[in-house]
Amino acid sequence: MKDLDRFLRENAPETPEEGQFLIETNARLDSVEGIKKTVDGENRRWRVALIIALAAGLVLGCIITLIVMFYPVQPARADVSAVARAVESLRDYKEALMGAIAFCAVALGLLLMSRKCEAL
């Protein structure tokens, strides 16, 4: 302890002028506040974008489900394209297909939200 006191007395560190030190400290704090406001604004925009995407996905999924239910694909004829035949073969499984698509969309949204929360 005495060695430390003696060392500090012999090698007195230079202290900045008190007024200048406060000015520099306040400038640094202001820059940190600016960065914090910018990051908070970006986080808010990401949350709003995620909510809008979720709402749009739900609305679009409901509309497509209603269209599929009210306008089923007509039976395939011999001159119908391969795409129409594939759609007709999935006719019996349209609810399961839409459910799987909705499940994937919700799972992706939750995954992205959890990763965003981990980054904070």
Q: What is the pLDDT of residues 10-56, one digit of tens each?
A: 776 666 666 777 788 888 888 888 888 988 998 888 888 888 988 89
What is the distance between the alpha carbons of residues 118 and 79, in angstroms, rounded to a whole number? 54
What is the distance between the alpha carbons of residues 117 and 113, in angstroms, rounded to a whole number? 6
Which three-class secondary structure state does DSSP give residue 63?
A: helix
The distance between the two most distant Cα atoms of the chain, rounded to a whole number of Å, is 101
Please report, rounded to a whole number, the percentage of residues in the chain having pLDDT higher than 90.
0
Domain ranges of the chain: 17-119
**Residues near 90 by beta carbon (within 8 Å), at least 6 away in sequence:** 97
Which three-class secondary structure state does DSSP give residue 78?
A: coil
Q: What is the pTM of this model?
A: 0.42
**Residues near 97 by beta carbon (within 8 Å), at least 6 away in sequence:** 90
What is the distance between the alpha carbons of residues 36 and 98, in angstroms, rounded to a whole number? 42
117, pLDDT greater than 80: no
H-type alpha helices, the chain? 2-10, 18-70, 82-89, 94-119
76, pLDDT greater than 60: no
